[in-house]
Structure 1
């Protein structure tokens, strides 16, 4: 699966990049085949407060699933977004199983 990792106003280090890639690989094994994944990490200032916003988009056969979260740190925002994405994929998988019965 192809995964595109973007950083806006923030540097994505090798450790975070590897962690994200492993997570997407795990999702591909559990819910695959996933055709494409993209994660965008952005740091922004809002009312003199630093915030991190993360958006993920995954293409599954016939559907696009996305999740967006915002937190005070990049790592927390990434973790929350990936957890939400996993929940969305679980919901999609359950709906697919019910429609095939």
Structure 2
């Protein structure tokens, strides 16, 4: 599995990289093969308010799954995005099982 991490106007530290890699490995082992994953973290400011937007894209056989979450700081946005991707992967795996019966 190939994972690409991008940071726009934010530095992605080792702890955050490790958290993302660990969760992606968990998704890969639980729900099926992930061929490629990309996580983009961007810090935005709007009306003097700092926000973090995290977008995750996962390529699986036969499809692409995406999730985008926004929060006041980076870590909660990453966690929310990974939770959303887990739900997407679970739905994809269930549909995939039904089609292969």
TM-score, with structure 1 as normaliser: 0.96
Is 1:34 aligned with 2:34?
A: yes
* CA shift for structure 1 position 31: 1.7
Preserved contact between residue 10 and residue 41 of structure 2 (Cα < 8 Å): yes
Corresponding residue for residue 75 of structure 1: 75
Aligned-partner Cα distance in 1 for 2:32–2:89: 10
* CA shift for structure 1 position 32: 2.2
Gaps of at least 5 residues in structure 1 are none
TM-score, with structure 2 as normaliser: 0.96
Task: Please provide the CA RMSD for this pair.
Answer: 0.8
Q: Number of aligned residue pairs: give it.
A: 101
Gaps of at least 5 residues in structure 2 are none
Is 1:62 aligned with 2:30?
A: no
Displaced runs of 4 or more, over 3 A? none
Larger deviation: 23-32 or 67-76? Answer: 23-32
